[in-house]
Chains A and B, each alone.
Chain A
Amino acid sequence: KAGVTQTPRYLIKTRGQQVTLSCSPISGHRSVSWYQQTPGQGLQFLFEYFSETQRNKGNFPGRFSGRQFSNSRSEMNVSTLELGDSALYLCASSPGLAAVGDTQYFGPGTRLTVL
């Protein structure tokens, strides 16, 4: 099976712009989770989508949003970018059976730089 793919791999934006990142999960996986990784804050959970519905959300401002399509592909959007949004954004997919403790498989990440 193909792994989790994320596009684009690298992105440079300026403050105030918005950005959309994409994640394609492993075939058959219905859950997609997003994480932000920064040197200062480490790995932080953004949100999880399962069957096109947001199942959980981390402690991030409303500028961070996401969605999931019927084919389980997911996008996350960050509006009005700030310098502090510079980070590696990781997407993880899993079958979606959270009740039995899914193992999440990660994509290669999107490196976002905000100037």
Chain B
Amino acid sequence: AQTVTQSQPEMSVQEAETVTLSCTYDTSESDYYLFWYKQPPSRQMILVIRQEAYKQQNATENRFSVNFQKAAKSFSLKISDSQLGDAAMYFCAYLSRGATNKLIFGTGTLLAVQP
């Protein structure tokens, strides 16, 4: 069975600085997808970024980028130029390629942004 681990329960960053959130996962599959979701206090889960395991190139979305290390089973999220609106719980999630849409989530990292 696949598992996702987020070892940082809480992180803090100064506004305009850069922060990296860690995620590791365990799987025996070779083809899968990884996601970062953001959940602000409103509790609405918002997609931040998506990575296909077969792509070596790291995904980027504006100020958000990932460092995907397939061999190490590591998938970290870097937030550049942090903004107050980035404060939220961040979840790493794993999706198998196949006949189901079952997302497996990590326990989350609560990010605080200090003005």
**Residues of A bordering B, CB below 8 Å:** 31, 33, 35, 42-43, 45, 48, 50, 55-56, 58, 88, 90, 92, 94, 96, 98-109, 111
When distances are taken between beta carbons in the complex, the residues of chain A under 8 Å from B50 are: 103
Bound-state Cα–Cα, A43 to B104, Å: 8
Taking residues whose C-beta sits less than 8 angstroms from the other chain, chain B's interface range is: 20 to 34
Question: Chain A binding site: helix, strand, loop or mixed by DSSP?
Answer: strand
Interface centre among B43, B50, B107, B108 (most CB of A within 10 A): B43
A42 touches B103 (CB 8 A): no
What does the 1/0 interface line of B83-115 toward A look like (CB < 8 Å)?
000000001000101111111111110000000
Question: B residues bordering A, Cβ < 8 Å?
Answer: 32-33, 35, 37, 42-47, 50, 52, 91, 95, 97-108
Would A55 and B43 count as touching, CB distance under 8 A? no
Asked if B101 and A104 sit within 8 Å, CB to CB, the answer is: yes
Q: Are A103 and B35 in contact (CB under 8 A)?
A: yes
A105 vs B33: C-alpha distance when bound (angstroms): 15
